[in-house]
Amino acid sequence: MKKAAITRLNILQKAFELIYEKGYLTTSIDEILSTTAVTKGAFYYHFKNKDEMGIAIINELLKPSFKATFLTPLQSGGDTIQTIYDMMREILMDNEILKVEYGCPASNLTQEMAPWNAEFTRALNDLSSEWKDAIIGCIENGKKEGNIRPEVKAEQVAIFIMSGYWGIRNIGKLSNSKSVYLVYLQQLRDYLETLR
């Protein structure tokens, strides 16, 4: 990587860490600069403004991580119920990046920025749509393989699973405890079993 690309990536990574912990609106460019040891000139060389940097965080950091964590596991094949459950358990209980006390970075940005910024809304909608489509694809594949009932409405199930995830992330953030995740995971497993 060239020096400019390394500097840009460093800004994005440090900014993401701050924004994940503190929120987008309360994180200033000056705070980002103080953690990256780059000048304002270097920041503005890479980004026109803070919002352009925020969109870059979604597209360049969150999307690749999101793909590996939320999408790829759903394409592994095998028993559909177990695949969905295992993905959710890994995201909630074992993922090293997603901290209970800070919630879900995509959900946080959605709540904080989507009402005010159309570019954030589009970028975050892309993430959400990709996850929904991956869950739908997994369920439809399960129907073909005979481990999901044919009459199950895949899109409804996908939206239910996603809304449950975002809800439990917020409850976990409030309680600062993964114990609520265990309650959710048990209920999720019970629900998923009804799809057989």
Query: Given this model, what pLDDT does residue 115 score?
Result: 86
Q: Is the pTM of this model over 0.85?
A: yes
Query: Given this model, what pLDDT does residue 77 score?
Result: 86
Dist. CA 85–CA 89, nearest whole Å: 6
Query: Given this model, what pLDDT does residue 144 score?
Result: 96
Query: Given this model, what pLDDT does residue 114 score?
Result: 85
Dist. CA 79–CA 89, nearest whole Å: 15
Give phi and psi for 93, each to the nearest 5: -100, -30
Q: What angle do CA 57, 88, 12 make, to 5 degrees?
A: 10
Low pLDDT (below 50) residues in the chain: none
Cβ atoms of 126 and 71 within 8 Å: the answer is no
Residue among 18, 7, 46 nearest 105 (CA): 18
